[in-house]
Amino acid sequence: MAKYTEDNIKSLDWVEHIRLRPGMYIGKLGDGTSQDDGIYILLKEIIDNAIDEYTMGFGKKIQIIVTENEVKVRDFGRGIPLGKVVDCVSKINTGAKYDSEAFKKAVGLNGVGAKAVNALSQYFKVTAIRDKQQKTVEFSRGKLIKEHEIAPTDEPNGTYIHFIPDETIFKNFAYMPEYVTAMIWNYAYLNAGLVLEYNQNTYVSQKGLADLLTQKTSSETICYPIIHLKNEDIEIAVSHNNEYGEEYYSFVNGQNTTQGGTHLQAFKEAYVKTIREFYKKDFEATDIRASIVAAISVRIQEPVFESQTKTKLGSQNIAPDENAQTIRSWMQNFIKKELDDYLHKHPETADALLKKILQSERERKDMAGIKKLAQQRAKRANLHNKKLRDCRIHLTDTKAERRLETTLFITEGDSASGSLTQARDVETQAVFSLRGKPLNCYGMKKKVVYENEEFNLIQHALDIEEGLENLRYNRIVIATDADIDGMHIRLLILTFFLQFFPDLVKNGHLYILETPLFRVRDKKKTFYCYSENEKEKAIQKLGGKPEITRFKGLGEISPDEFSAFIGQDMRLSPVLITPEVPIQKVLEYYMGKNTPQRQEFIIQNLKIEKNDFFIPATE
């Protein structure tokens, strides 16, 4: 029996604790392929401090430089007091934001953010500039390595931070420009007039959340002009489009609450209640919110989040005072007055909105019978469903917050699904096995989701029939062979999600599994290579004439080997939606009728397979 004595009790200093349990401070680590990976939380923590200075009225510009693995942020606020620079970035629970009068509605309140970045960076430098003087300190993995003397400077006031995340913690990481750009735009929308310079490009918004919705929607698919409502502490932009699902962008004190929370729930309830009262009809809530696209931003005092990464608001009141107004009543009063007034003043918008609600009502009623039968079929299938090999987190009914750890692989064929099932982490990874090629559902109505057995079972496996709130897996990974058939299946699955569940894609839940094309090995070492270039480098490293295997299908890879490709170092390519090209246009081009434009594209980019390599046909 293990002994339990005083020697077993250990006290860690702040650096040791953050580095031993980084997930407590920045969520999951990741390699940068997911927008909620830890490296983006590090970047956010530093920018948040600069934003708080702007919110307090100091500095109108923030400069940001981000390369694959390095970050530099310069604000033009007041600058950290020179005598407290070391303390503010290396002493836990030290900061100005405990003074709620000075930072009543700031993003970071617990004095941890910058310290976590410091502790989790292999290099961290901060320079504070105040009144023609500057103080610079440098750290490595949270340990002070150099403290510079206070020196004169002609630079304007502010704070400059330069850090490189620790490669021993964030393995094979890289910042994805698409995710950083989305983050920068959100800061611009939430701080109208603030100038953000990111990698030599300027980002600025004048209309706040109205600009956000303009970027996220298309003039061709939007049903009526964006409704934009705001006061000092609440800002809302809302419209409807012709896509399925509900799409929300929610923020608290400038923080993007990707998991929503009490403020988003309050908005949904208040919106439905106000619409019912305005039209004097008891519409179903799902009909009112079908195809909605909305952005909600609130500012409250000392918000309580459900984790250090601040992705879900837990506060019930708008201030810590127990007598303070609830977020629910506060939102209800705002929506009731502002939205009701807006609809009365804009009858053409009110008519368009009513038309959209009635259309959703008709579609729901038309599908009622089909939906009921499909649910019964799915329930029966679940009793002996060999398509879904679920993970233990769901099978043991663990608390909902652990859903963030889960992954569902969608694959095709018995051999591939067999290898994945044997190789997976049974605690967090599930496998859904397709039978043959899915239906090309482009241009079809949503009733096909219930009529088609495979689509119906995927929908139920994910639990997304009523929206993303009950989504059972944080990551949905399409795992198909790297050949023509595999690519076709991949496109058909993508079409299914983009056509009927675009909010799942837009919220960053869909990925493509990258599997190695080659295995290069000798008697001592083995390299798995994902491209021709990697293969050539592996051959050079091994020298001589190593054994080279070309994998043509997932089923050819043994479960023992496969476990290396879906573990900690799993390579995923996120499916990203750029707002410049509407989803329907993308689907029409790739999955619609064989248009002359697509024929021309295929001819110009045609490749043929020769000697196991894909070679342009023109060569």
The reported pLDDT for the residue numbered 598 is 72
Q: Which amino acid is at 238?
A: V
Q: Please give the residue that has the higher pLDDT: either 332 or 413.
A: 332
Query: Among 90, 83, 96, 15, which residue's Cα sits nearest to residue 49?
Result: 96
User: 256 near 186, Cβ under 8 Å?
Assistant: yes
Confidence check: pLDDT of 615 > 80:
no
Cα 360 from Cα 377, distance rounded (Å): 24
pLDDT range class, residue 400, cuts 50, 70, 90: low
Q: What are phi and psi of 429, to 5 degrees?
A: -115, 130
Cα 593 from Cα 229, distance rounded (Å): 41
pLDDT per position as a tens digit, 117-158: 999 999 999 999 999 999 999 999 999 999 999 999 999 999
User: 40 near 49, Cβ under 8 Å?
Assistant: no
User: 617 near 607, Cβ under 8 Å?
Assistant: yes
- Cβ-Cβ contacts under 8 Å for 216 (sequence gap 6 or more): 247, 249, 293, 506, 579
Cα 267 from Cα 296, distance rounded (Å): 8
The helix or strand, by DSSP H or E, that contains position 119, with its residue range, turns out to be helix 113-119
pLDDT per position as a tens digit, 340-388: 999 999 999 999 999 999 999 998 888 877 877 777 766 665 544 568 8
The helix or strand, by DSSP H or E, that contains position 362, with its residue range, turns out to be helix 347-383
Cα 270 from Cα 60, distance rounded (Å): 35
The reported pLDDT for the residue numbered 104 is 65
Q: What are phi and psi of 449, to 5 degrees?
A: -65, -35
User: 124 near 89, Cβ under 8 Å?
Assistant: yes
Cα 335 from Cα 342, distance rounded (Å): 10
pLDDT per position as a tens digit, 574-603: 998 877 667 887 888 788 876 677 777 767
Region of 142 on the Ramachandran plot (φ > 0 left; ψ -120 to 50 alpha; else beta): left
Confidence check: pLDDT of 20 > 90:
no
| Mean pLDDT, all residues of the chain | 86
Q: Distance between alpha carbon 338 and the CA centroid of its chain, in Å?
A: 31
Confidence check: pLDDT of 610 > 50:
no
What are the structure tokens assigned to 356, written together? 């959209």
For the segment 176-197, the average pLDDT, to the nearest whole number, is 95
Confidence check: pLDDT of 4 > 60:
no
Q: What percent of the chain has pLDDT over 90?
A: 52
Confidence check: pLDDT of 275 > 50:
yes
- Cβ-Cβ contacts under 8 Å for 563 (sequence gap 6 or more): 423, 424
- The two beta strands, 158-165 and 121-130, are antiparallel
> What are the chain's domains?
15-203 (3.30.565.10), 209-362 (3.30.230.10), 385-515+554-576 (3.40.50.670), 518-550 (no CATH), 581-619 (no CATH)
